[in-house]
């Protein structure tokens, strides 16, 4: 994913995140954060099941 796609994906999951703020981070940092959000999302789904 390019930086814009990473930011868009993060904003979909974390709706309080601001694109302007996220743009300050590297692609690698954004990718790490997105992976973290996805892990949390999966944990929440597992807890609800």
A 10 A CB-CB count for 24 gives 8
- Cα 44 from Cα 38, distance rounded (Å): 10
Output the pTM of the full model: 0.83
Rounded Cα distance between 28 and 46, Å, is 27
Of 35, 29, 22, 31, the C-alpha closest to 1 is: 31
The pLDDT tens digits for 14-47 are 999 999 999 999 999 999 999 999 998 776 766 7
11-22 residue pLDDT tens: 999 999 999 999
């Amino acid at each position: 994913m390019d930086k814009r796609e990473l930011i868009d994906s993060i904003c979909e999951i974390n709706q309080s995140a601001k694109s302007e703020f996220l743009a300050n981070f590297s692609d690698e940092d954004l990718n790490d954060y997105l992976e973290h959000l996805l892990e949390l999302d999966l944990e929440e789904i597992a807890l609800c099941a």
